[in-house]
């Protein structure tokens, strides 16, 4: 079973920041938070991951709360091409296979 809770859908205006929340209240100390997205009919795409510090890469930023029970994925300037299903996944460092929940369907609107 997925260990995370995400809203089923969100809308975001093009050019605005998209903030996607994820609750993972049962996360343990050695588990990472990973984010993936799946654009219609394509394979999922890795976005970012973190353990306890905030992370940023060319695609997004990941903000993890101090108690690690929730996190937020931030797409700083959403475009229409960011319309996708976004998955938040908690997993340990030992390459345990990913378990996907239902994710959040983000619609970026012009």
Binding site residues, other proteins, CB under 8 A: 34, 36, 41-47, 49, 93-95, 97-103
Beta pairing partners, 34: 49, 89
Identify which of residues 41 and 53 has a Cβ nearer to other proteins in the complex: 41
| Beta-strand pair 104-109/9-13 | parallel
Identify which of residues 24 and 50 has a Cβ nearer to other proteins in the complex: 50
- Closest contact distance (angstroms) between CB of 98 and other proteins is 6
Shortest CA distance to 22 belongs to which of 39, 40, 34, 38?
34
Question: How far does CA 37 lie from the centroid of its chain?
Answer: 7
Q: Residue 94, SS3? A: coil
- Closest contact distance (angstroms) between CB of 21 and other proteins is 19
- Closest contact distance (angstroms) between CB of 50 and other proteins is 12
């Amino acid at each position: 079973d997925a260990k995370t809770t995400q809203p089923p859908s969100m809308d975001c205006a093009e050019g605005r920041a998209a903030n996607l929340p994820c609750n993972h209240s049962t996360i343990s100390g050695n588990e990472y938070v990973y984010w993936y997205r799946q654009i219609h009919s394509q394979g999922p795409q890795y976005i970012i991951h973190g353990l306890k510090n905030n992370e940023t890469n060319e695609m997004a930023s990941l903000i993890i709360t101090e108690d690690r029970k929730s996190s937020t994925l931030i797409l700083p300037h959403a475009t229409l091409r960011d319309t996708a299903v976004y998955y938040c996944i908690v997993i340990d460092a030992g390459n345990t296979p990913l378990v996907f929940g239902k994710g959040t369907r983000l619609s970026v609107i012009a």
